[in-house]
Amino acid sequence: MRLYEYEAKQMLAKHGVALPKRTLARTAEEAEVGARELGGATVLKSQVLSGGRMKAGGVLFADTPDEARAAAARILALAINGQQPAGVLVEERRDIAQEYYVAVTWDARAKRPVIVFSDMGGIDIEEVAQTHPAHVSRTHFSNLRPLSDYVAKLAVARTGVTGNDLAPLTRIVLNLARIFVQYDLTLAEINPLAKLADGSFIALDSHMDMEEEARGGQRALLGELGIADADTRQARPPTPFEVEGARVDAADTRGVAGRVVEFDGNMGLVIGAGGGSLTLFDAVRSAGGRPANYCEIGGNPSVAKAAALTKLVLSKPGVERIAVMMNVVSNTRADIMARGVIKGCIDAGRDPARTIAIFRIPGSWEKEGAKILARYGVEYVNRSVSMHEAAQRAVAKMG
């Protein structure tokens, strides 16, 4: 779950990291008032859950409150990667002597958190990592031992930073690492971390992601930031179809009908589970099919849940047929799935025989499943037909 820049900065402020003076504006008028209160030149930044704001025109500069108002109006009207801004962050503009980069994230290979630090921060940091590797340090720390100052010092000193800058940078890096640990973040980044003309350091921009699974344990922080349970923080807002998919999943605890995503094709998919869905979606596309949706149904769902998902997929305009496919199943039952998708078709007023292009769920209770499908005239294929062959057959039946 990604946090907005203004929320990430609230967390930094709370943990003693210096920041530019700033105010969050929801309207152009508020931005003008904010700029006047800050006094002097300002920078206005679109609050979206997306990178590339600068290139998209979501970051503008203003010298006067009037200019700030005009810039905010433009930013608030600008969608970035399909997202409307949640507001404009109005900040005082500071003179920067040098830019640094610091991030704390997980290294899945080492299975530990890693601090990434560079004395060459800014938007080209990925390129710096390639071209100036000595200026980017990677420093892991233990999950079990208490986080000690020397770890942060090592991260900074490894890039050659010494003298008066070492201690203040160490403190900021340590604070960021503690925030990462304390709030179950998957990424805590400050970029740029700026050294000002007077030698002090402030965080100019920050990006933080919290682990989805940790939301329950981080209620206090989320409450402080004003983030509601219903705020899913997706990169783009979910469509009504996707919202309904989430409702179908939540309505019944038996099994999973997760990650329902909408596309604009004519072939509905009732596919599962995680790896099986990825494989089958690829298979449909490589056979020239045009999927209407992605989904992951599995974990031994109830008949009601499979029926509700089927009905939802069929409710999408332009869906001609559905393909019901899974890998060889262990705990999900072919017969329960057969009952569910047939019931879903009939509930949607469709003939199962003409609506279900193919049913490929080999594994547990497959014989019983085949009997049900035969009774309703639906084509059933067993494990001798591969996932890719099944997808090809389904695509061939489309108009």
Partner 1 sequence: MAMFIRVDFDASLQGDADLKRRLVEVCPVDIFALDGDTLTTVDANLDECTLCDLCIDAAGERVRVVKLYE
Partner 2 sequence: MAILIDEQSRFIIQGITGREAVTMTRELLNYGSQVVGGVTPGRKGRDVHGVPVEDTVRAFTEHMHVHGAIVAVPPAFTADAVLEAIEAGIKLIVIVTERVPRRQVAQFVEYAQQEGARIIGPNCLGIISPGKAKMGGIGGAADATHRAFTPGHIGVMSRSGGMTVEIANALTEAGLGQSTAVSIGGDAIIGSTYAELMPLFDADPDTHGIAIYSEPGGPMEAQLADYMRESGSRLPVVAFMAGRFMDAMPGVRFGHAGTIVEGRADTTAEKIARMEAAGIAVADRIEQIPVLLKQRLQA
The residues binding partner 2 (CB under 8 A) are 50-51, 81-82, 101, 103-109, 111-114, 116, 125-126, 129, 136, 138, 142-144, 181, 184, 186-187, 189, 191, 207, 209, 211, 213-214, 217, 235-236, 272-276, 278-279, 281-283, 285-286, 298, 326-331, 362-364, 383-384, 386-389
Q: Which is nearer to partner 2, 136 or 308 (CB)?
A: 136
> Residue 202 or 326: which CB sits closer to partner 1?
326
18 binds partner 1 (CB under 8 A): no
368 binds, among partner 2, partner 1, none (CB under 5 to 8 A by kind): partner 1
Site for partner 1 contains 350 (CB under 8 A): no
Is 372 a residue that touches partner 1 (CB under 8 A)? yes
Please name every residue paired with 80 in a beta bridge, in sequence order, or none if there are none: 83
Q: Which residue among 333, 334, 341, 356 contacts partner 1 (CB under 8 A)? A: 333
Q: How far apart are the first and last CA of the chain?
A: 40
How far apart are alpha carbons 194 and 62 in whole angstroms? Answer: 20
Q: Is 342 in the site for partner 1 (CB under 8 A)?
A: yes
Distance of CA 11 to the CA centre of its chain: 20
Task: Confirm if 304 and 252 have CB atoms less than 8 A apart.
Answer: yes
Largest pairwise CA distance in the chain: 81
Question: Is the distance from CB of 337 to CB of 301 less than 8 angstroms?
Answer: yes
Question: 359, 324 in Cβ contact below 8 A?
Answer: yes
Q: Which residues pair with 273 in a beta bridge?
A: none
Residue 204: how many other CB atoms lie within 10 Å? 21
Of residues 289-318, those binding partner 1 (CB under 8 A): 302-304
Of 264, 350, 267, 343, nearest to 309 by C-alpha is: 343
| Residue 252 binding partner per list partner 1, partner 2, none, with a CB distance cut-off of 5 to 8 Å that depends on partner kind | none
Q: 115 or 322: whose CB is closer to partner 1?
A: 322
Shortest Cβ distance from residue 304 to partner 2 (Å)? Answer: 18
Tally of residues, the chain? 399
**Which tokens sit at 253?**
């605890």
Residue 210 CB, shortest distance to partner 2, in Å, is 11
Q: Which residues bind partner 1 (CB under 8 A)?
A: 302-304, 333, 335-336, 339, 342-343, 346, 368, 371-372, 375-376
